[in-house]
Amino acid sequence: MKKRFQPKFNIKKGDDVVVIAGDNKDRAQPRKVLAVYPQEGLILVEGVNIVTKHQKPSASNPQGGIVKIEAKINISNVMLWDAKAKAGVRIKRDRTEGKVIRISKKSGEVIK
């Protein structure tokens, strides 16, 4: 897809987020973002949406068996975590010195 039509999200890899919908909903506990898939509108969050996967024996895993891994969730089910406000916050974008920065609407702090 061309860069012109690529969706823009306020959440990046490595950010802290809170899950606001689904089975793992917890607005008080921040979790780390492992990956963002903007084309699909999905996100991979640490410890959220754990699924069991059956694996065949292979060279790297000669035993095989059942493995528990995180699955993707919709990006609309999370909010960015603001450490100062100690809550999930909405974000506004501001352009300073040619760079776009993310600012918390609740506390006014810059999100790094």
Amino acid 58: pLDDT: 93
Q: Which domains does the chain have, with CATH numbers?
A: 3-82 (2.30.30.30)
Residue 1 has pLDDT above 70, yes or no: no
- The pTM for the full model equals 0.84
pLDDT in tens, 55-108: 999 998 899 999 999 999 999 999 999 999 999 999 999 999 999 999 999 999
Backbone torsions φ then ψ of 49, nearest 5 degrees? 60, 55
Distance (Å, rounded) from C-alpha 38 to C-alpha 75? 9
**What's residue 61's pLDDT?**
87
**Cα–Cα distance measured from residue 41 to residue 11, given in angstroms and rounded to the nearest whole number:** 11
Rounded to the nearest angstrom, the gap between the alpha carbon of residue 52 and the centroid of all alpha carbons in its chain is 20
